[in-house]
Amino acid sequence: MRRAARVDSNQKEIVKALRKIPGVSVAVNHDDILTGFRGRTYWFEIKTHEKASKQDGQVILDQTWTGHYQIVWKLSQITDAMGITQDSVIAAFPFPT
């Protein structure tokens, strides 16, 4: 039987921040998260830092998966991959001033 995967310490904070961005959906427990934005799906493996070890399956996915799959350790890497900037979010979802 498969054991529950360990959740990296920064995942909760990153997921919380992503869920605050209008138009972004987030699903957890998909090695590590799936996000959606503007009709596209993104698959991110969250690590605690750049030098964190990768499981064999993660290395294979990173090298062979033809859809979006990226190993990240910062929120900005995710928003950059999804094409989200502060200006684009404000333009797409204007708030009253």
Q: Residue 75 and residue 24: Cα distance in Å, rounded?
A: 13
pLDDT band at 88 (very low <50, low <70, confident <90, very high): low
Higher pLDDT, residue 58 or 93: 58
For the chain, where are the alpha helices, taking DSSP H only?
11-19, 56-64, 75-81, 86-92
Q: Quick one: tokens of 29? A: 């427990």
| Total domain count, the chain | 1
Q: Is the pTM of this model over 0.95?
A: no
Residue whose pair of structure tokens reads 């969250």 in the numeric block: 46
CATH number for the domain including 26? 3.40.1350
Secondary structure of residue 2 in the 3-state scheme: coil
pLDDT band at 1 (very low <50, low <70, confident <90, very high): very low
* Residue 65, domain extent: 11-87
Burial of 45 (0-12, 13-18, 19+ CB in 10 A): buried
